[in-house]
Amino acid sequence: MTANLLDYDLEGLAAYCEKLGEKRFRAVQLFRWIHQKGEQDFDRMSDLAKSLREKLKGHARVQPLVPVSEQASADGTIKWLFDVGGGNAIETVYIPEDDRATLCISSQAGCAVGCRFCSTGHQGFSRNLTTGEIVAQLWYAEHFLRRKLGTTERVISNVVMMGMGEPLQNYSALVPALKTMLDDHGYGLSRRRVTVSTSGMVKLIDRLAHDCPVALAVSLHAPNDDLRDNLVPLNRKHPLDELLDACSRYLAFAPRDFITFEYCMLDGVNDQPEHARELVQLVQHHGGHGIPCKFNLIPFNPFPESGLLRSPQHRVQAFAKILSDAGIVTTVRKTRGDDIAAACGQLAGDVKDRTRVGERIARQRTIMLKPVHDRQGDGST
């Protein structure tokens, strides 16, 4: 079977070329053709020796993903559905803004973490994506957008691994993909502008710090273990103390001097003033010195299976004010692409669930959390 060259970072491609009897500089040339120029046809790679082109035609291919559909939002957001075989499809989202252009990339077909507020998790889990399938999302989007905009300059400035899946559960494929994104011969993205979002894979956060430290976002969503156990099941394995310790260790290697905490605002569940005050206590006093961080408050995008509702705007703003008044940088994420189901937590693709995650979530709904105001008439924690 021929090798898909999108599966290799530059070191991997150099090793592959060495097996073909070629020097390292040929791998650099080839890498540039594939990623900087978006070329698939070896015959058009004009500065490669003809003998190498012939070898490549017999042993290798550049295999991108084929979009099944493309949807454009009124706000400029674009969502692509890519077929990854076996009855599975993944989603990738492009979000243009005045000062940046962000691509939200998937790492798995589905997700096994099963967070209550995420529609991807409710679809279940099929498989990890390959390195080539992760990179192919950027390859396609970057070169599609260049053609559309009539430019040879780089379009995508930021990548967030916040699409379908838990990126750190697909670690062996993720790291070479990140290295390709960062490589100056590839996409040349800054470590500060590539973000891995995790629900709390503690040991793998530590590995990432040494293997490929990029910006880190942690899906927090609760200020205490009891609440987070119900919202983010992974918390039962890696409770908040362990997770925040890992965040502290990561900062020694991170390209930014803070951790971003993602917090999805759920009506009556985690959005009360006492939750905000508890968060302040948690991050400012953990380990005796606190954790430099910023909070990104995310409006929940409801879907029927969740049984949850979006917090009203006035409560989100009040929550943000408590954090800000405590000196914590806090933003409220703009909802982008919700008219095409491309907003945070909405990516679901089409997944053949082989783990029955969906069934387990359905059973859990019988013991779902009641809103705070239903549980405690005085509104206290």
Catalytic position from the list 115, 118, 247, 344: 344
CB 17 within 8 A of CB 24: yes
What does the pLDDT read at residue 115? Answer: 85
H or E stretch at 244: helix 240-250
Indicate if the pLDDT at residue 87 is higher than 70: yes
The domain locations on the chain are: 3-61, 66-375
Band of residue 367 on the pLDDT scale cut at 50, 70, 90:
very low
Q: Reply yes or no on whether 264 is catalytic.
A: no
Percent of all residues in the chain with a pLDDT value above 70, rounded to a whole number: 87
Higher pLDDT residue, 376 or 56?
Answer: 56
Higher pLDDT residue, 246 or 87?
Answer: 246
Q: What is the pTM of this model?
A: 0.89
**Integer Cα distance of 67 and 81 in angstroms:** 6
Band of residue 375 on the pLDDT scale cut at 50, 70, 90:
very low
Percent of all residues in the chain with a pLDDT value above 90, rounded to a whole number: 78
pLDDT digits (tens, 9 = 90+) for 310-342: 999 999 999 999 999 999 999 998 765 555 454
Q: Of 203-212, 223-232, 358-367, which range is least confident?
A: 358-367
CA distances from 283 to 169, 287, 331 (A): 25, 9, 16
What does the pLDDT read at residue 120? Answer: 74
Indicate if the pLDDT at residue 172 is higher than 50: yes
Q: Reply yes or no on whether 274 is catalytic.
A: no
What does the pLDDT read at residue 59? Answer: 94
Report whether CATH 1.10.150.530 matches the domain 3-61.
yes
Higher pLDDT residue, 125 or 349?
Answer: 125
78-85 and 88-96 as β-strands: parallel, antiparallel, unpaired? antiparallel
What does the pLDDT read at residue 339? Answer: 54
Indicate if the pLDDT at residue 117 is higher than 90: no
Higher pLDDT residue, 228 or 337?
Answer: 228
User: Bridge partners of 17?
Assistant: none
What does the pLDDT read at residue 347? Answer: 45
Higher pLDDT residue, 304 or 246?
Answer: 246
DSSP 350: B
Q: What integer is the mean pLDDT of 110-128?
A: 83
Q: Please say whether the dihedral angle defined by the alpha carbons of residues 34, 38, 40 and 43, taken in this order, is positive or negative.
A: negative
What does the pLDDT read at residue 341? Answer: 53
CB 94 within 8 A of CB 82: no
pLDDT digits (tens, 9 = 90+) for 179-216: 999 999 999 999 999 999 999 999 999 999 999 999 99
What does the pLDDT read at residue 377? Answer: 39
| Location of structure tokens 């999805």 | 264
Band of residue 362 on the pLDDT scale cut at 50, 70, 90:
low
Q: What integer is the mean pLDDT of 64-82?
A: 93
**Integer Cα distance of 256 and 200 in angstroms:** 19
Q: Is 65 helix (H, G, I), strand (E, B) or coil?
A: coil
- Tokens standing for 22? 């070629």
What does the pLDDT read at residue 352? Answer: 57
pLDDT digits (tens, 9 = 90+) for 142-169: 999 999 999 999 999 999 999 999 999 9
CATH number of 66-375: 3.20.20.70
Catalytic position from the list 91, 133, 166, 262: 91
What does the pLDDT read at residue 51? Answer: 94
What is the DSSP annotation of 125-184?
EEEEPPHHHHHHHHHHHHHHHHHHHT-SS----EEEE-SSS-GGGGHHHHHHHHHHHH-T
Mean pLDDT estimate for the chain = 89
Q: What integer is the mean pLDDT of 119-124?
A: 76
pLDDT digits (tens, 9 = 90+) for 7-16: 999 999 999 9
Indicate if the pLDDT at residue 304 is higher than 90: no
What does the pLDDT read at residue 131? Answer: 98
